[in-house]
Structure 1
Amino acid sequence: MQGESNARPAAIGTTVGTSPGKPGAPALNQTLGTWQLWGIAVGLVISGEYFGWSYGWASAGTLGFVVTALFVAAMYTTFIFSFTELTTSIPHAGGPFAYARRAFGPTGGYLAGAATLVEFVFAPPAIALAIGAYLHLQFPGLEPKHAAMGAYLVFMALNIVGVQIAATFELIVTLLAIFELLVFMGVVSPGFAWTHFVKGGWSGNDHFSLGSFHGMFAAIPFAIWFFLAIEGVAMAAEEAKNPRRSIPIAYVAGILTLVALAVGVMVFAGGAGDWTTLANINDPLPQAMKFIVGEHSGWMHMLVWLGLFGLVASFHGIILGYSRQIFALAREGYLPAWLAKIHPRFKTPYRAILAGGVVGIAAIYSDELIQFGGQTLTANIVTMSVFGAIVMYIVSMAALFRLRRVQPAMDRPFRAPLYPFFPAFALVAALVCLGTMVYFNALVAGVFVVFLALGYAYFLATRTQREGGVAAEGLLEE
């Protein structure tokens, strides 16, 4: 890399040993078991069950959003079954970046890496704002944005000094978050009424019409939020004890867990009372519970405090995810080399952690820049993150098809079932999502394209610093 010797930075918690590339290259310690990987898969996503998705009700209504959510759930299910083939075949900390680079070369790696980076850097500020909203319920004098920034500072520090216990922490808070969602469903179930759920359920109307499709398509980003970031398990693939077995189990069990929770939360919240009051807020579950138990109930306080576990699980997990992605890209020369610096004492990518945090905190306080297009600050941040995810899904499925064609003999411990139908459906569904998102979110799409263009300019200007990295990782065929 420029300004450094040919020795590459050590990876997080690495030892010199087996690696996805050449023998002797830095490799992550293989310490994660199946339950820990499942905890990461669900924990990365589970905050999406607590907030964000309800913005889809504002455009689609409850019934319209059910249709949108089921379509997106089908996309994610087929995607995960297909993506698992890539993850087990190429267990690399760069995740989609590594798959695309092997399939399409450095430019493909850039596109997948940049899209993944947008997804994982812009998701945390939305989650942090939800944490702030939950804390504001308990402490009305606490400004939600200040609380969000405080969450960043606390969990960036935890990630810097405590990476060894990160997976165990994820598993514990994920189990608590699932328990809390089940408690929510149980508490509101006595007051549940289908009449509440179906009233105005088609984009504000009681009956379906062709105009309902408009709202259903507009709600796609918020249905994706239910499942966004589950693919982050790929970034822990180098650390799995037995990736051939544990990753498929973790992914499949994870997506089934999330689909069940998403349907349950959506239905019970919508049937608790006037769902229109929940459509544009960051804390729909506590507000839905108010319909049943009142504002001062002990259940309310329990929900707020336990609900933080779900937000914390995703927030902490995605900080781990974005730091690994920034680190991997910097290590390969796709980002400035100084971002790959490892803390001498804690052996964590502290500069990568801090860099993503700076972007996230800036997003939280950028109301005038990010609150446009008639959407709230959180809605636009969610949409930006989803743009990154969808582009990455498209590139990943294209990489799967290309690798099947040009490298048929590649070791594939797990093969996508019903090939080519599963990956084809995931690819077509992602293209539909991308097209509708561009149509309904042209301004956010424009900002996303600007980010990619600026990154591509840097990519073109720094070609020489990547020449050693590609060969060292062994991701491209000689």
Structure 2
Amino acid sequence: MAQSGSELRRTLGVGDAVVIGLGSMVGAGIFAALGPAARTAGSGLLLGLAVAAVVAYCNAMSSARLAALYPASGGTYVYGRERLGAFWGYLAGWSFVVGKTASCAAMALTVGAYVWPGQAHAVAVGAVVALTAVNYGGMQKSARLTRVIVSVVLTVLASVVVVCLGSDASDAGRLDVEVSGGAGGVLQAAGLLFFAFAGYARIATLGEEVRDPARTIPRAIPTALGVTLVVYAAVAVAVLSVLGPEGLGRASAPLADAVRTAGVPGLVPVVRVGAAVAALGSLLALILGVSRTTLAMARDGHLPGALADVHPRFQVPHRAELAVGAVVAALAATVDVRGAIGFSSFGVLAYYAVANASAWTLSPAPAARPVPVVGLVGCVTLAFALPVLSVVAGTAVLGVGAAAYGVRRWAASR
């Protein structure tokens, strides 16, 4: 239960919510995920993108319906608790907090790698500290900064698309779908590309800070997802038409390599800046989402109660934000977590599996069931199509969380 005086202020409209969703999705993933997806599935990455989009759409629709009914901080942690029981809500929250904390560190290190490769860890820590301070100042400041970041990133991506498609190096024949790795390759590519879509949950986790949530959230989530899909499809087609599946699979910085191959090397520094800004946008939104889920779990006693405190002036969960920022900064300073992207995807897919299962309980009408069913099956399928190490690590972490819940319940009953 929420503590007295711990309610957050509702300041976000549809436009702000859409921008936060875009800032979460149109981030560093599109600058980095295309290469691994091409190595896995060749030009079949376009099919993988479509599969990821379908699963993301189902998740978004389920999340939107639930968020309109339960407009509180915490997202699927709240939905699972209310619709399926305390354990499933807890498991969703655990998956989100652990997985997304790893994502925060990965995004911070991405900023460092693009801004100053020789001092990536130091830059990463500085980015975490700066964005935690921005979030501490209140939601409107975060929304304004996210709006600037989204504008910069969309401009850079539009430039990449125009340059690549207008280049003599562009060849539509490279878009012919030739799937390497078979169906398993497409599914693994979809799992990797899903990481770049996963930010729309940020709108739902901020439900307690949205004005008129029953109207705002169902409009903001599909709008943000639709814009993101159009952008991703355009960028994937443009880059693939220039580099081809093999060239894209070899590229460590696909968008920078694409504009260089397209004959405009002067745009490479701009793309690097765009990638860094995109990673900052993702990091900003990730810290927001993790801190709000931490707040919700602290309110229910699954995390220390002090983390449920809301700042009397700024109306943000300041202790949760500081705690999340401290953990992410420590990871960014000491560990290279970019290899944990697969682990993060596993946790996010587990989170959305609970969301779809929760949405399935909302209505017994047959017409209301297909979307959450497809979303649930899609999440489970993509989660176990990820690289083996990611699946093993993700399963182990979920097991640790479940065991901790069991021990806590046992201790409380004594």
| Residues 95 and 351, structure 2, Cα contact 8 Å, conserved in 1 | yes
Query: What are the Cα deviations for residues 158-217 of structure 1, in whole angstroms up to 9, with x where unaligned?
Result: 2223444112222232133222211221122222523673599533xxxxxxx4333223
Q: What is the alpha-carbon distance in structure 1 between the residues aligned to residue 5 and residue 147 of structure 2?
A: 26
The structure having more radius of gyration, on CA atoms, is 1
User: Match of 1:50?
Assistant: 31
2:163 to 187, 206, 212: 187
- 1:333 pairs, out of 295, 301, 310, with 301
Farther off after superposition, 382-391 or 284-293: 284-293
Alpha-carbon distance in structure 1 between the residues aligned to 2:60 and 2:209: 19
Superposition pairs for residues 266-285 of structure 1, below 5 Å? Answer: 266-273=236-243, 276-279=246-249, 283-285=253-255
Q: 1:145 aligns with which of 121, 124, 130?
A: 121
Paired with 2:132 and 2:252, the residues of 1 have a C-alpha distance of 22
* Aligned: 1:421 with 2:370: yes
Aligned to 1:40: 20
Aligned-partner Cα distance in 2 for 1:465–1:314: 38
Distance (whole Å) between structure 2 residues aligned to residue 199 and residue 237 of structure 1 = 42
Q: Residue 3 of structure 2 corresponds to which residue in structure 1?
A: 8
Matching of residue 402 in structure 1 with residue 361 in structure 2: yes
How far, CA to CA, are the matches of 1:342 and 1:30 in structure 2? Answer: 14
CA contact (8 A) 2:205 2:292 kept: yes
Name which of 376, 381, 401 aligns with 1:432. 381
TM-score, scaled relative to structure 1? 0.78
Cα distance in structure 2, aligned partners of 1:231 and 1:200: 31
What is the aligned partner in structure 2 of residue 384 from structure 1? 343
**Cα deviation per residue 1:288-312 (whole Å; 9 max; x = unaligned)?**
21212454x1x22333324433222
One of 180, 188, 196 as aligned partner of 1:226: 196
2:391 aligned residue (438, 445, 450): 445
Q: Quick one: percent identity of the two aligned structures?
A: 25
| Alpha-carbon offset, residue 225 of structure 1 | 1.8
Higher helix share: 2
Q: Is the Cα–Cα contact under 8 Å of residues 8 and 209 in structure 2 kept in the other structure?
A: yes
Aligned equivalents of 2:252, 2:122: Cα separation in 1: 15
Residues 361-383 of structure 1: per-residue CA shift (max 9 Å, x gap): 4444565xx7xxxxxx52x3211
2:47 paired with 1:67: yes
For the structure 1 residues 330 and 281, does the alpha-carbon distance in structure 2 shift closer, same or farther, using more than 3 Å as the test? farther
What runs of 5+ residues in structure 1 fail to find an aligned partner?
1-5, 12-26, 204-210, 371-376, 409-416, 468-478
How far apart in 1 are the matches of 2:224 and 2:412? 35
- For 1:357 and 1:383, locate their aligned partners in 2 and report how far apart those are by CA, in whole Å: 22
- Read off the aligned partner of 1:292 and give its amino acid letter: A
Correspondence list, 1:54-453, <5 A: 54-61=35-42, 63-136=43-116, 142-191=118-167, 192-194=169-171, 197-198=174-175, 202-203=179-180, 211-273=181-243, 276-279=246-249, 283-295=253-265, 297=266, 299-343=267-311, 346-364=314-332, 377-378=337-338, 380-405=339-364, 418-437=367-386, 440-441=387-388, 443-453=389-399
Distance 2:376 2:114 in 1: 36
- Structure 1 residue 344: Cα displacement: 6.3
Q: Secondary structure at the match of 2:166?
A: helix
- Larger deviation: 179-188 or 267-276? 267-276
Deviates more, 1:393-402 or 1:356-365: 356-365
**1:313: Cα distance to partner?**
1.7
Q: What is the distance in 2 between the residues matched to 1:96 and 1:278?
A: 35
Shift of residue 156, structure 1, vs aligned partner: 1.6
Cα displacement string for residues 103-151 of structure 1 (whole angstroms, at most 9, x for unaligned residues): 1221111111111213321222222222222214xxx6x3323322221
Q: Secondary structure at the match of 1:54?
A: helix
Q: Is the 8 A contact 1:44 1:313 kept in 2?
A: yes
| Shift in alpha-carbon separation, 1:178–1:331, aligned structure 2, 3 A | same
For residue 250 of structure 1, give the secondary structure of its aligned residue in structure 2.
helix
CA 1:81/1:330 → structure 2, altered by over 3 Å: closer, same or farther? Answer: same
Q: Which amino acid aligns with 1:35?
A: G
Deviation at 1:435, TM superposition (A): 2.7
Cα distance change on mapping 1:294 and 1:222 into 2, 3 Å: same
Deviations 1:404-459 (A, max 9, x none): 35xx9xxxxxxxx952222221122112112322xx32x32232233223333332
> Does the 8 Å contact 1:323/1:349 carry over to 2?
yes
1: distance between equivalents of 2:65 and 2:123? 40
With over 3 angstroms needed to count, the CA separation of the structure-2 counterparts of 1:349 and 1:282, relative to structure 1, is: farther
- Contact (CA 8 Å) 1:52, 1:282: kept in 2 or not? no
1:18 is matched with which residue?
A: none
Q: Which residue of 2 aligns with 1:414?
A: none
Residues 300-309 or 240-249, more deviating: 300-309
For this pair of structures, how many residues does the alignment match?
411
**Aligned-pair Cα RMSD in Å:** 2.8
3-state SS of the aligned residue for 1:315?
Answer: helix
Aligned mates of 2:225, 2:52 — CA distance in 1:
12
> Where in structure 2 are there 5+ consecutive unaligned residues?
none
> Which amino acid counterpart does residue 31 of structure 1 have in structure 2?
T
| TM-score normalized by the length of structure 2 | 0.89
Deviates more, 1:27-36 or 1:145-154: 145-154
Q: How many Å apart are 1:465 and its aligned residue? A: 10
Deviates more, 1:386-395 or 1:52-61: 52-61
